[in-house]
Amino acid sequence: MRVFGLHFFGAAAATILVIGCVDAASSQSAAAAKQPRDVCALLAAKEVAEVTGLPIERVAKTADGGCEWYANAAAQQQKGSDTARSTLQQLMTQEPKSADEGVRTMENLMKGLSGAAAPTKPVFAATVHWDDGDQAEAVLKGTMAVNSAGAPGGGLERIDGLGDRAFIGAMGTLFYVRKGRALVLFGASGITRDQEIALARKVVSKL
């Protein structure tokens, strides 16, 4: 039995969604064993620092085979505060051109607040499900359909030009990419939506 997890960060703190799955056959497990398993090797700390502007002090493998990148806590707290402050100012002075733009702006505000409130949380996280992507995607879409029913900006928004297909949920509560048989789950705290997507592109390009 193999349990896999999804790490994502939304609202003012990190949230962890865990989804259980059992491998269908031993042959699938054998094929998975041939795949590179070190997710941390897909994204260098220097690359995270270049995109986020934060010094990365630690990179850690997770129990579910994923990876988390941790920034200097003081720097992340300051960046989160700056992001929240500038985003709030934007909301006060510029009316969003659409409901979707308003939701994305609020997402940046909440990510900034989470970084300021919990600076010891990973600034970026990724988990790759190498061979059970179809099943994982079905579960994720089903969960989002139930949780976002009727909510403004709810559901999944497609991100063009990333992997075979990529979707992000309202307020950034879910972000995943499909490439071949694999499904990659991403999460972030204290950085903007655009920075999270930029880091995801770097990871996916190396799959």
Indicate if the pLDDT at residue 15 is higher than 70.
no
**pLDDT at position 151, please?**
54
pTM: 0.73
Averaged pLDDT of the chain: 79
Domain-located, residue 36: no
Contacts (Cβ under 8 Å, ≥6 apart) of 164: 178, 179, 180
**pLDDT at position 148, please?**
63
Range of weakest confidence among 29-33, 101-105, 143-147, 196-200: 29-33
Report pLDDT digits (tens) over 41-76: 999 999 999 999 999 999 999 998 899 999 999 998
- The 3-state secondary structure of the chain, one letter per residue: CEEEEEEEEECCEEEEEEEEECCCCHHHHHHHHCCCCCHHHHCCHHHHHHHHCCCEEEEEECCCCCEEEEECHHHHHHHHHHHHHHHHHHHHHCCCCCHHHHHHHHHHHHHHHHHHHCCCCCCEEEEEECCCHHHHHHHHHHHHHHHCCCCCCCCEEECCCCCCEEEEEHHHCCEEEEECCEEEEEEECCCCHHHHHHHHHHHHCCC
Indicate if the pLDDT at residue 3 is higher than 80.
no
Query: Which region, left, alpha or beta, applies to residue 153 given φ > 0 means left and ψ of -120 to 50 means alpha?
Result: left
Domain-located, residue 37: no
- The domain tally of the chain equals 1
**pLDDT at position 36, please?**
53
Mean pLDDT calculated for residue range 25-30: 43
Mean pLDDT calculated for residue range 18-36: 43
Q: What percent of the chain has pLDDT over 70?
A: 77
- Inter-axis angle of helices 99-117 and 73-93, nearest 10: 150
Domain-located, residue 31: no
Domain that holds residue 186: 2-24+42-204
Report pLDDT digits (tens) over 98-148: 877 777 788 888 788 887 888 899 999 999 999 889 999 998 888 777 666
Mean pLDDT calculated for residue range 162-177: 87
Domain-located, residue 30: no
**pLDDT at position 198, please?**
97
Cα Dmax for the chain: 58
> What is the spatial distance between Cα 8 and Cα 5, in angstroms, rounded to a whole number?
10
